[in-house]
Structure 1
Amino acid sequence: MKKNALHNLTKRLTFVFFIALSLQMIAQENPNTENKSDFWSDVQFGGGIGLALGSGYSNISISPTAIFNVNQYVSVGAGLQYSFLKQSDFYSSHMYGGSVIALFNPIEEIQLSTELEQLRVNVDLEGSNSNSADFWNTGLFVGAGYRMDNITIGIRYNVLFNNDKNVYADALMPFVRVFF
C-alpha cells in the first residue's frame, strides 16, 4: 500500500511541477510581441488651427481630428471643432461641435472624402438681443483632393448648404488636410 501511495504522490507532484512550469513560461512571454494590439500604429492625428486678426476683427479656431487607417485605401475618423468670431460693435459668435469623416484613396495621390459635421452656433448681435441666434448647423461634405504623403489639398462641397441658415458663405470650400 505504501508503494501505491508513493506512486500517487509522485504523479501529483509531477503534475503540479509541470503546471507551475507552464505558468512560469506564460509569465515569461514578452507582452510586446504577440499580445500587443496594432490599433494605435494605424491611428493618425491632425486637424487645424486658425487665427485671423484685423482692425476690430478676430477669428480663432481649433479643430483636432483623429483617423484610423483601416487599410491603404480606407480611413475613418472623428473630429472636434471650436471657433470664435468677433467684429467690434457688430457681432460675436461661438461655434462648437464635432464631425465624422471617411477617406478613400483609390490611388496614392488622390483622396476622396465624405464628412458629416454638426455645429452649435451662438450669435450675439451687439446692441440687439432680438436678432441674436442659437441654432444647429449640419453640413454633409463630399470632397476630392491631391495627396502628397500626409498632406491633402482639395475642394469639398456641402450638399446640405442652405443660404438662409448656414455658417459658411458658400457650399464649395477649399481645404488643406494634414495628418501625422
Structure 2
Amino acid sequence: MQITMKKIFLVCFLLTSSFLLSQTTDKPQFWDKVQFGGGLGLSFSNNYTTISIAPSAIYNFNQYIAAGPGLSYLYAKNGSLKSNVFGVGLITLFNPTQNLQLSGEFEHLFITQKLGVDKSHFDYPSLYLGAAYRIGNFSAGLRYDVLYDSDKTIYASAFSPIIRFYF
C-alpha cells in the first residue's frame, strides 16, 4: 500500500480544518440554539394497534419564542382497516412564563387507508392551538385543531394531548 503526499496532505488538511472550525467564540452559534425532540407512541388493544413517531427540531430565537419543522408517521390497524399517515409541519412555541407554554402548530397529513382490497388516498391540514405545563425540556398539555372537520379526518376529536421533549 503506497501512501502518497497528496493523501497525507488531504488527511492533514481535514484534521486541521475540523480543529479550526470547532473553536468556540463568545457569540452563540446557530446550532447552539437548536433543540431536537419529538414523540413516540404505541397503543395495543383487542384488534387495534397504533405506532407513531414524530421527530422535530426547534430554533430558540430567545427565551420566549422558538419555532421549527417536524415530521410524523403513524401506522394504525383497526380490524381489517389499515392506515399509514405521513405528515409535515411547523411548530411555534411561546413561553410567557417559566412553566407555561403556548403553541401553534400547522400540520399537513397524507393518508393511505386500506380496507380489504379497497385503497384510498387523501390529505388534510390541521392547525393546532395549545397550552401546556412546562418543566425544563418537558411539556404536557392539550391542543385544539381549529380546522377540524369530522368528515375529512382520521381523528375522533379536535382535541389531542401535548407531550413534548426537547434536548
CA, structure 1 residues 161+45, in 2 after alignment: closer, same or farther (shift >3 Å)?
Answer: same
Matched with 1:8 is none
State the TM-score, normalizing by the size of structure 1.
Answer: 0.76
Residue 67 of structure 2 aligns to a residue whose secondary structure is strand
**Superposed, which structure 2 residues align to 1:1-180 within 5 Å?**
31=21, 32-34=23-25, 38-88=29-79, 90-127=80-117, 129=118, 132-180=119-167
Deviations 1:46-85 (A, max 9, x none): 1111112233322111100110100000001111001111
**Which consecutive residues of structure 2, in runs of 5 or more, have no partner in the other structure?**
1-19
Matched with 2:15 is none
> How far 1:87 sits from its partner (Å)?
2.2
What is the CA–CA distance in structure 1 between the aligned matches of 2:165 and 2:63, rounded to whole Å?
A: 17
One-letter identity of the residue aligned with 1:164: D
One-letter identity of the residue aligned with 2:124: N
Deviations 1:112-169 (A, max 9, x none): 1000000101111125x2xx42111210001111111111111111000001011211
State the TM-score, normalizing by the size of structure 2.
Answer: 0.82
> How far 1:36 sits from its partner (Å)?
8.0
4+ long deviations beyond 4 Å: none
What is the CA–CA distance in structure 1 between the aligned matches of 2:56 and 2:145, rounded to whole Å?
A: 19
- RMSD of equivalent CA atoms: 1.9
What is the CA–CA distance in structure 2 between the aligned matches of 1:42 and 1:134, rounded to whole Å?
A: 38
What is the CA–CA distance in structure 2 between the aligned matches of 1:159 and 1:133, rounded to whole Å?
A: 25
**Which consecutive residues of structure 1, in runs of 5 or more, have no partner in the other structure?**
1-29
| Greater helix fraction, Structure 1 or Structure 2 | 1
What is the CA–CA distance in structure 2 between the aligned matches of 1:178 and 1:34, rounded to whole Å?
A: 28
> How far 1:96 sits from its partner (Å)?
0.2
Number of residue equivalences: 148
One-letter identity of the residue aligned with 2:133: Y
One-letter identity of the residue aligned with 1:40: W
Percent of residue pairs identical? 42
What is the CA–CA distance in structure 2 between the aligned matches of 1:39 and 1:133, rounded to whole Å?
A: 42
Residue 106 of structure 1 aligns to a residue whose secondary structure is coil
Report if the CA contact (8 A) 1:137-1:167 is conserved: no
